Structures are given as structure tokens and as C-alpha cells.
Structure 1
Amino acid sequence: MPAAAPVPGTMYAEQERRLSLVRERIQEFPDFPSPGVLFRDVSPLLKDPVAFSVAIDLLEAHIKTSHPKINYIAGLDSRGFLFGPILAQRLGVGFVLIRKKGKLPGPTESISYSLEYGKAELEVQSTAVEPGQKVILVDDLLATGGTMRAACELMSKLQADILDCVVLIELKSLRGADVVKPFPLYSLLQYD
């Protein structure tokens, strides 16, 4: 007997249920780290193995659907290190560290970028990727986009082919996606 066709809308409803489970585990802290800022904390998500697994499942599904051939996941210091290695393992690819300046041994490439109150630097080992290798950058959150943009430029210095910038949370009102352009961006959850 042939399998029944899925009921229209059930796949969408399941996707929304899963996204809702992840969204419920994001905790809000008003006025942190400074007055007027609404901080979105992923710590409760990390404490819930079911919700965390669902978040990883959803990110993995996006990557598999959109980018069937990749070489590396590159995680941004530090919360990209929470999501990136798991995604890399599930996808059967390597994981690359993009760290704050001075944290990696051996020859490195670095890039400076501006923050709201100063400058910062990111670096990657010079041999992390070979020219033309396909990379997806991963972090927990995109706010103003400066750190993700710097990471893209850093990987471009190594001549990586950047397929996507993937984040769990995007703060849409800060327009970080505009800063990341022309590199593509995918966010699982969006907040205004």
C-alpha cells in the first residue's frame, strides 16, 4: 500500500513548532550590557538538550538544502564554537576557528575592524583553508554585522569561497545583514 501524501501545511506547522521551541529558549535581559539594550541570551537553549538539538537540526537542514558541497564550517569566537563543531561533525566536514587576536599558534592572518567603542581584531591560521575551498561561517547572533563582515574579509584573504553566513539569531533593526553584503546571510530566528 503506498504511503499517504503529507497533508498540506503539516510540514510548515511542524517547522513552526520546532522554531517556536527554539525561540522559547532564548531569554531576554533588558538593559544589558548597557541601558537601552535588550540582550538575547542563548544559555537556556544550551541547557535544554532537546531544544538545542532542534536548533542544530534546523541549521543543518538549511545548510544541506542550500549548500550540498562544502569543505569547512568556520566558527566565530566564541559562541560560533558552540554551534559550528556540531554542524561540521554532522555534515562530515572540518571545523575552522576564527579567534580574537593572539589566541592561535603558528602563522596567522588577521583583520582589524571597528566596534561601537573601539577596535578589535580577528585572526585565523594561515593554513586553515586552501584557495577555492567552500566555507560557511557560523555564529550565534548577528547584530550590527561588524564581526561577521570582518570574518568574511578574513576568509577572503585566504581565498576561501564563502557560501553563507549562518546565525541562530538576527537582530533585524540593527541592519547587520546590510553590512555583511555581498555575502549571503541565513538566520534561524529574527527579532526587530
Structure 2
Amino acid sequence: MGWDDVFKLVTAAIASVGSAGILILVLSSWLGKLWANRILEPVKHRFATELEATKRNLDVIKETTLRSLHDKILSYRAVIEIIARILATFDAYESGRLPAINAAARYDEFNEHRIRVYGYLTTLAPQSVMDAQDSLMDYLLKICNGRDTYEWARVRVVALAALNAIRADIGIETDPITYNGDL
């Protein structure tokens, strides 16, 4: 056996082991991926299921929150319309455009609206809104009962406090509205 034969034999041995090594490496890589996929499949399925459930829960929370805010805005709008009507009646009476006999009938209407407003607010308003509303209604009731005088500037301050409490509650703006006019 000569050096050529020895070289051919060593080369053949290395080539056969190298080919087998490559084959073993490829097969072990494939088998590792197969096992990993089989092991991870239940985890991926559970994760996807939990993710979908979380998305559904978030959608329900979002829808509930939006509906609640919409209901709150509609109720506050009704409250503001009632308060505007009450204040317009007071202004008409104080300026002499509404006779006393009609004012008495409007007082009964005011009382009904006042109770309705309170009912609307108790279903959705926080205490800060209720307190501001109570201050406004107490002042107006004192005027109706002759225990206080009607002063538009005071009415405006108390009414703006109620409106600012509403605005803060629905998150429109936290900075309060102020009257900057001349009257």
C-alpha cells in the first residue's frame, strides 16, 4: 500500500464521516423543528384563544363605555335644556315680561322640572355635579319663596359652576368656563 492508497483511504473515510455528519445534522435539525412545533402548538393555540377573548372583552368594555358616555351626554343635555327654560322664566318675570299670574303657573312647572332634573342626575352624575346642581336649585327655590333676590350675576355664577361640573364629569375640558362679558 502506497501513499496514494493511504491518502485515498483517509479521504474516503473523512468524506463518508463528513457526509454522515451532514446527514445527521440535517436530520437532527428537522427532528428538532418537528418536536418544537408539536410542543408549541398547544401553547400557540391557547395564546391565540386568550388573545381573542381579551379582544372581545376590550370590545365589550369599549362599547359599554361609549354607550354610558353617550347616555350621560344625552341626560346632561336634557338637564341643560330644563335649566335654560327655568332661567328664561325667571328672567322674563324679573324683567316684567311675564305677569305674576303666569309666573305662578311656571313655578309649578319649575318645581316639576327641578324634580325631573334631580332624577336624571341621580342616575349618572357624580357628587360634584349633584352639589353644583343643588346650589343652583337651592338659590332658585329661595328666589321663588321670597327668601332671596333674583340677581342675574349670581344666577350666572351658580349656573356656570353646575355646567363646569358637568363638563369635568364627561371629560370635555377640565378648565372651567368663566363669564367674561359686561353684564
Using structure 2 for the length normalisation, give the TM-score. 0.30
Higher strand share: 1
Higher helix share: 2
Using structure 1 for the length normalisation, give the TM-score. 0.29
- Structure number, greater radius of gyration: 2
